[in-house]
Amino acid sequence: MGAEMRRIHVGNALSAFGLGFTVPYLYVYVAQVRDLGAMTASLVLAVFAVAALVVLPFAGRAIVRRGPLPVLLVALVTAALGALSLGLSGSPTTVLLSAAALGAGQAVMQPALATMIVDCSSAETRSRAFATQFFLQNLGLGVGGLIGGHLVDITRAGSFTLLFSIEAAMFLLLVVVMSSVRMPRSPKIEDVPGRSGGGWRQLLGNRAMVQLCVLGFVLFFACYGQFESGLSAYGVEAAGISTSALGTALAANTAMIVVAQFAVLKFVERRKRSRVIAAVGLIWALAWVVAGYAGLGHGSQAMATAAFVSTYALFGLGEAMLSPTVAPLVADLAPSGMAGQYNSAFALVKQLALAVGPAVGGPMGASLHAPYIVTFLLFSLGITFLAVRLGRQLTPAQNQPSLAGSRVVARGTAPVEQVTTAA
């Protein structure tokens, strides 16, 4: 990695650290520490998600026109202000406004940092760069949550003020670090003839990208959207999993990612991306079968707990396979100068899935145990079907860059002709 890429990865790790540092404690902070009630706390979590959905469509356009670095710096300052004001807020209005600023800032960081990775990598190094990003994001989330949990004390509001103040200071420090990044000149939308408008219309005309967005929604809905909602509720209610065992399962997921990420990278890089994603669907289908045994089988409690922990580990294996596959594919589908728009669109799809997933999976996992397992088993098999179908829309260079690296345009671009014919 060059110096610029190292700084970008520092940015990824610290932004994930900030997310893990405070977000798990938002509900407790608002409902109990500030004594604003469960309803306000739920609204804060909703606002946090809605703010991301509102800003992401505009973030892509801004990244295309201004470049990812200026957009990232604005997002960092916005998140810092939101975090600091959240730690000082005592009324429902100020808490909601602060959560909106923090949620919007953190949401925009994702596509901005992803676009910076695209601009600073080539087709040959992009998969490894995104695998490193995913590894550092999970490490940042885990370390942030661990440290934050030891700092807070629900009997002392000052401990939460300190928590949010540290997060704000970290974001401002990150502004200084990222300001030193010297980005290579990537084409802006004004530099490309015939690209003066209609970015979203052009994206929707790219059949491969539309299919990838549909696939992405199912991926995030069936996996990430269930971790802390439906699957955890199912584990507690159907399998009798204790809270400590649930924590062990989440740790097993992170441990699998840390151990497997670079072990599977070479395997993934030599295979067609569509087949890798299809294999992930089968692995996750197996995970849901194991989860079904944990809650619906007639084994001992120890067997049920082991099966439930194994479910999270299998999900982690699939995540490790996806990280060097999906994000680089989004970049390679983007026409010249449009990587920011495509990254933002995919981030928007992810946010939608993460909003819908808990709303659907939570009630099902808590009460409709067998239908819950069958439903998400079918969704996982649907991932395999959609991945195979997507493979037919991809060029050989997009589907397997290792065999045609010289044909993939550097910095996440796709030939103009391909987008035109796909419309």
Band of pLDDT at residue 198, cut at 50, 70 and 90: low
Number of H helices, E strands in the chain: 19, 0
Give the per-residue pLDDT at 404: 57
Do 333 and 414 contact (CB within 8 A), yes or no? yes
Residue 185 pLDDT level (bands cut at 50, 70, 90): low
pLDDT of residue 344: 87
Q: Where are the alpha helices (DSSP H) in 180-272?
A: 199-204, 207-219, 230-237, 243-260, 265-269
> Would you state the pLDDT for residue 250?
79
22: tokens are 């405070």
Residue 199 confidence class, pLDDT cut points 50, 70, 90: low
Rounded distance, CA 173 to CA 291, Å?
Answer: 42
Residue 77 pLDDT more than 50? yes
**Rounded Cα gap, residues 12 and 320, in angstroms:** 17
Instruction: Give the pLDDT confidence of 249-303 residue by residue, as tens digits.
Output: 878 888 888 888 888 888 888 889 999 999 999 999 999 999 999 888 777 888 9
Cα distances from 159 to residues 40, 141, 166, in angstroms, run: 20, 20, 11
The model's pLDDT over 387-407, given as tens digits with 9 standing for 90+, comes to 999 999 898 888 888 775 433
Domains of the chain: 1-180 (1.20.1250.20), 198-423 (1.20.1250.20)
Top-confidence residue, 161 or 192: 161
